[in-house]
Amino acid sequence: MRTLLVPVLLMLLCALPLRAQQDALPQSVSGSAPSQQEIDQLLATLEDPQRREAFVSRLKALNSLSEQQGAGEGLEISEALKLDQRVGKFIKNYLALLSESDVRASSIGKIVALAVCSLLAICLALGNAWLSRLFNRQLDSMRQRLGLSNSRLSSVFSWQRQAGYILSGVAWFYALAVIVFDQHYQSTVSQGMVTVAQTTVAVLLVVLLFLLIWEVINALLESLAERKDGLNNRRVMTVLPVVRNVLTFVLVLLSSLVILSELGIDVMPLLAGAGVLGIAVGFGAQTLVKDFLTGFTIIIEDLLQKDDVVTVAGRTGFVTHISMRKLELRSLEGTVHTVPFSAIDIVDNLTKDYSYYLLNVGVAYREDTDEVVECLKAIDEDMRSSDDFADDILEPLEVLGVDEFADSAVVIKARTKTAGREKWRVGREFNRRIKIAFDERNIEIPFPHQTLYFGVDKDGNAPPLPPARAASAAESEETESA
């Protein structure tokens, strides 16, 4: 971010003073072919002590502003860390050592020198790889202590190994050019090699720096996710993927800009073009923008979390994945529903913090409702005292009373407060125990009955049954009498 703001700030701070100093100078400094009159004015200025002193002070001020502007023009990390001087000096000494030695006098000497350089490059690469693995193993205890994954920070050491291989290869190619092709360290090819080395080191350092930032931030997030006390772990697991996506986008964008700057590409036109492109995309992809904004609001306001059971856009299921623009639900049948955030206008969270399982218990009209209520409370106490449901039932059963006189039943409504996602398990067990208890107490659970009516004659007598039905009825009576 600093590399992007430096040129803007310098233009704003230095443009006006520099313009003023330039305007204050004699007009003779701006022309390509000064006239005799301008030369006379300049000589008069130099001969007058006061005018000469004022002119010199203005030149010094202009030179100071030019140096400040030139220092601010370096957007590269190599400028901030002075990699050009350090790496360039090392490479020049390396090339000078190769070029000034006498090993290139004969073919055998060149072969021996190239073999020695190859051996040194291989040893450096292997030594760097061994050190990276050693450092990685030393961090295992810290990973276990902080609750980090076994691969955390491994990408940094992996990149260290790759950087060692690349730098060893670059050094070997330099040796090849100097020894075999007789390139002097002050030649054009050698100077080009120095530039390539400086750029290579800067790019590798940029990637290493952003990898380190990525790994450290992810380590902090993982450490927070492992803490149970004082933190809602499901809340952390919900926000964590979104934070990682945003972090990945920002780091990739910044590292790309810095690497382009290191390669000598002016990133300011790219930023201006990206701004114009962003405006065009904003108008053309309003649904996509709405997805991001709605999703950001839903996540920040904690309307749902991972593993919640929700109903959104007419779909119900477990929340299995949350990204920056969509939500994935898995229904009870196993179907995965992908719902974009822009399609969500109402969120029904069925398991946030706690849940209620609603009981609508229907009994026959002849039953005593007070006896039924006592039976339900006894079942609730028995479940709350059991080890399987003691932690899932949060409060005693709340009996709301007689709720409805249905066609064939008296409906008693009650509800039990449970842990968020345990309402269905508790409810199924409650229904099972209700059936067993009602059977033991002879409490009738009504079910549909069908009565056949054949009518009566004028004397009030029912017509006789058909022969088949009469025989069947007689057999039934004999069976009952027996």
DSSP-assigned letters across all residues of 213-269:
HHHHHHHHHHHHHH--TTS-HHHHHHHHHHHHHHHHHHHHHHHHHHHHHHTT---HH
The two tokens of residue 421 are 């996602």
Question: In whole angstroms, how large is the CA radius of gyration of the chain?
Answer: 42
Please give the helix or strand (H or E) that residue 423 lies within, else none: helix 423-440
pLDDT at 20: 36
Taking the CB of residue 416, how many other CB atoms lie within 10 A of it?
26
pLDDT at 364: 92
Amino acid at 425: R
* Euclidean distance between CA atoms 445 and 462, whole angstroms: 32
pLDDT at 98: 54
pLDDT at 236: 65
Please give the helix or strand (H or E) that residue 348 lies within, else none: strand 347-349
pLDDT digits (tens, 9 = 90+) for 222-259: 777 666 544 456 666 667 777 777 788 888 888 888 77
* Euclidean distance between CA atoms 428 and 432, whole angstroms: 6
pLDDT at 219: 81
pLDDT at 30: 40
pLDDT at 369: 92
pLDDT at 310: 93
CATH no. for 354-441: 3.30.70.100
Taking the CB of residue 116, how many other CB atoms lie within 10 A of it?
13
pLDDT at 349: 92
Q: What average pLDDT is seen over the chain?
A: 75
pLDDT at 7: 38
pLDDT at 412: 94
DSSP string, 285-312: THHHHHHHHHHHHHHHTTS--TT-EEEE
pLDDT at 207: 84
Which residues have C-beta within 8 Å of that of residue 379, sequence separation ≥ 6?
A: 397, 430, 433, 434, 437
Which residues on neighbouring strands pair with residue 330, listed in sequence order? 318, 336
Please give the helix or strand (H or E) that residue 405 lies within, else none: strand 398-405
Break the chain into its structural domains and give their ranges: 99-265, 266-347, 354-441
pLDDT digits (tens, 9 = 90+) for 378-407: 999 999 999 999 999 999 999 999 999 988
Residues of the chain with pLDDT under 50: 1-32, 70-75, 229-231
Decide if 115 contacts 144 (C-beta within 8 A): no
CATH no. for 266-347: 2.30.30.60
pLDDT at 158: 86
For the entire predicted model, the pTM comes to 0.52
